[in-house]
Amino acid sequence: MNLENIATEVIALSKQVGDFIRQERKKFNSDSIEYKGLNDMVSYVDKAAELQIVAALEALLPEAGFITEEKTKNQIGERYTWIIDPLDGTTNFIHGLPVFSVSIALQEYDELVLGVVYEINQDECFYAWKGAPAYLNGMEIKVTKNLKIADTLLATGFPYYDFEKQRAFVELFAELMRGCHGLRRLGSAAVDLAYTACGRFDGYYEYNLNSYDMAAGIVIVRQAGGEVVNFSGGTDLFNTREVVATNGKITEELLNTIQKYFPKQ
């Protein structure tokens, strides 16, 4: 398989679907919101976008399976599986906050080999595939070179359900807030990872994520020279539902801080 050719097709698809989402946002009515759970919202835009993505990817790689947020099609492939979030940042989209994205990753067996994140509002497409650099709109990107948290800008995501770990999260947030240039919360895990890959953030951490929230971004960070682990420093991200993405230089310091409040499992 030629991953570069596949990536070219997925980039074009992401932009096409992103344009659909952008146009729908202009006429979006909050009456169309549905709830999948506490503060877990979905709209017809998420579902329509996912249908478009699945149909195109089925034609591109007929033998592949799918993991999709809206469950349009969910069946692990024997070798290849697409991992899709058609609209990462749905809450932002619904409220008109301009940070949301299309996220598409390809997994070969257990290895993530391709990722595309298209941030719709800024028309920025981040992408990477195994064996190649990471790119933003055709320009190669790399993670930062900062060596210590005191010199960094970090990102995180706030839990919006399952508040069992809320106190630990807030205490961790407070310590990091005192120790770095600042903490940001954008509301799209895919964008947080993409921004870490291109050096806007030095690091990003979050828990309670799903595979489709982070799969594409993981590929992009790694191919940009960064590191992605879970809160215990391991590589099992999907089962733990945790992610710590960094420039590779602050990983140990960030993990040591995280583990004060989220002990190793």
Residue 154 and residue 180 in contact, taking contact as beta carbons nearer than 8 Å: yes
Q: Tell me the residue length of the chain.
A: 265
**What is the helix (H) or strand (E) element at residue 183, kind and residue range?**
strand 182-184
The residues that bridge with 116 in the sheet, in sequence order, are 104, 127
Quickly count: other Cβ atoms within 10 Å of residue 236's Cβ. 12
Q: Which residues are annotated as a binding site?
A: 69, 85, 87-88, 213
Do 261 and 233 form a contact (C-beta atoms < 8 A)?
Answer: no
Alpha helices in the chain (DSSP H): 3-26, 44-60, 90-95, 166-179, 189-197, 211-223, 237-240, 251-261
Tracing tokens 């508040």 back to the chain, one arrives at 163
β-pairing, 153-156 vs 182-184, is parallel
Residue 170 neighbours by CB under 8 Å, 6+ apart: none
Question: Treating both helix axes as pointing N-terminal to C-terminal, what angle do 211-223 and 189-197 enclose, rounded to 10 degrees?
Answer: 0
Q: Say if CB 162 and CB 209 are below 8 A apart.
A: no
Which segments are annotated as binding site for Mg(2+)?
69, 85, 87-88, 213
Helix (H, G, I), strand (E, B) or coil at 121: coil
User: What is the 8-class DSSP label of residue 14?
Assistant: H
Phi then psi for residue 218, to 5 deg, are: -60, -45
CB contact at 8 A, 261 and 168: yes
The continuous run of DSSP H or E covering 73 comes out as none
